[in-house]
Amino acid sequence: MSVRKTWQIFARDVAMGPRTMMVLWLIVFPLLITFVVRLVFGDLIDPSPRVGVVDFGSSSIPAALEADDGIDLTIVNRVAELQEMVETNELDAGLVLDAGFDAAVQRGDLPNLRFFVGGESLASNRIVLAVTTIDLIRGLAGEPAPVEVVTEVIGDGSSVPFQQRLVPMLVLLSVALAGIFLPAASLIQDKTTHTIDAVLITPAQVGDYFVAKGMVGFLLAFGVGVITLLINGGFTAYVGGNLLVVGVGALMSVQIGLILGAAIKDIQTMFTVWKGGGIILFAPAVLFLFPTVPQWIAKIFPTYYFLGPLYEMTVNAVSVADVALDLAIGVAISIALAGLAGIVARRMEKRLAAA
């Protein structure tokens, strides 16, 4: 394999890439989907904290909460109903105010304040509601607030907000589209226009050609994946580990793209294969959206071995060492795919030579 020939093919593809609509689509489409998803689930326009109150007396706290433009208040009649609304994520938190609560605080007593928080509520909303409630009580009694706050998490306290569980799917969409489609479509187009014939009659070898195509696809997939992770707040303190995970995903996607590009004759067939094989690629990301489903099922699919580490690092803020085994398996899968890509490339070369 010649480094110079590989670089020449790479430079040609990089120079021609921005002129094609496909490259623009591969960059813009994942970012557009990210924008729409975050808009729908409230990360770009953060929803007001939602609190429900059951007031058994005539406390002034509900009126003060209602007067706060930054809080969405719901008056609930029964404690059981309040708990259900918090558990189903209709509310971020719930307050239960016993009869005579204000008078007890003003007397200096220590009344019980029940404060429920939803397991899927945003941490920022929990903090806002808790601090606001304490401030209102301080307004009744002064410093320090003579109140004992009993916080109860309703539902699974380890639950992750839905928009956070979407991050791996958004990153996968970005990485897979660029990493698979760009090399595959480029190979198919070169075969259709016989550009590849012109390349292979030069001293360039099929290995140079494949490596160059893979490099272009990897750079685009890695770049779009990093941008998607960045705008979704997926980076943690382990930035190097985050980049490594996206890199493994981009590498795996590129190998799949090269294999498909060498084996498939036209773009229509490529789209058909993409539709049929999409479940294999996206199954782990879909399973992350439903934590009640046994998560071991996701490990059956190859893309889990970069999505799993990505999920753990972005959601649970674990270190690279904690996901090293899964990452190593992902690298091994990529190497195996590279070997398969080499076999498919040689077969393609023989077919072209025979033609």
Question: Is the pLDDT reported for residue 277 higher than 70?
Answer: yes
Per-residue pLDDT band at 318 (split at 50, 70, 90): confident
Q: Which two tokens stand for residue 205?
A: 């070898």
Listed range (100-109, 123-132, 157-166, 266-275) with the worst mean pLDDT: 157-166
The DSSP code sequence of 46-73 is: PPPPEEEEEESS--SHHHHHHH-TT-EE
pLDDT at 326: 92
Task: Calculate mean pLDDT across residues 269-298.
Answer: 81
Task: Calculate mean pLDDT across residues 285-306.
Answer: 84
Task: Calculate mean pLDDT across residues 322-332.
Answer: 91
Phi, then psi, of 75 in degrees rounded to 5: -90, 125
Q: Using alpha carbons, list the distances in angstroms from residue 46 to 86, 92, 144, 235, 333.
A: 18, 13, 31, 19, 39
The number of residues making up the chain comes to: 355
The DSSP code sequence of 111-172 is: -EEEEEEETTS-HHHHHHHHHHHHHHHHHHH-SSP--EEEEEEES-TT---HHHHTHHHHHH
Angle at 351 between CA 346 and CA 355, to 5 degrees: 145
Query: Mean pLDDT for the chain?
Result: 80
Select from 11, 27, 58 the least CA-distant residue to 179: 27
pLDDT at 355: 64
Question: Is the pLDDT reported for residue 104 higher than 60?
Answer: yes
Give residue-wise pLDDT tens across range 183-227.
Answer: 888 888 888 877 776 666 666 677 778 888 889 889 989 999 898
Task: Calculate mean pLDDT across residues 228-242.
Answer: 80
**Could you give the CA distance from residue 324 to residue 309 in angstroms, rounded to a whole number?**
8
Q: Using an 8 Å Cβ cutoff, are 91 and 51 in contact?
A: yes
Select from 94, 86, 87, 97 the least CA-distant residue to 51: 94
Task: Calculate mean pLDDT across residues 258-268.
Answer: 86
Per-residue pLDDT band at 26 (split at 50, 70, 90): confident
Angle at 138 between CA 137 and CA 142, to 5 degrees: 135
Strand 148-154 to strand 72-75: parallel, antiparallel, or no bridges (unpaired)?
Answer: unpaired
Task: Calculate mean pLDDT across residues 273-288.
Answer: 81
pLDDT at 247: 92
Question: Is the pLDDT reported for residue 322 higher than 70?
Answer: yes
pLDDT at 152: 58
Domains located in the chain, CATH noted: 3-41+166-354 (no CATH), 50-154 (3.40.1710.10)
Task: Calculate mean pLDDT across residues 63-79.
Answer: 87
Per-residue pLDDT band at 248 (split at 50, 70, 90): very high
pLDDT at 157: 45
Question: Is the pLDDT reported for residue 330 higher than 70?
Answer: yes
The contacts of residue 243 (CB under 8 Å, 6+ apart) are 226
**Could you give the CA distance from residue 332 to residue 327 in angstroms, rounded to a whole number?**
9
pTM: 0.64
Task: Calculate mean pLDDT across residues 9-16.
Answer: 70
Q: Which two tokens stand for residue 99?
A: 């009869």
pLDDT at 141: 67
Task: Calculate mean pLDDT across residues 301-320.
Answer: 84
Q: Is cis: bond before 144, omega within 30 of 0?
A: yes
Q: Using alpha carbons, list the distances in angstroms from residue 197 to 5, 187, 259, 334.
A: 15, 11, 18, 28
pLDDT at 76: 92
Strands laid side by side in the 112-118 sheet? 72-75, 50-55, 93-97, 112-118, 148-154
Radius of gyration of the chain (CA): 27
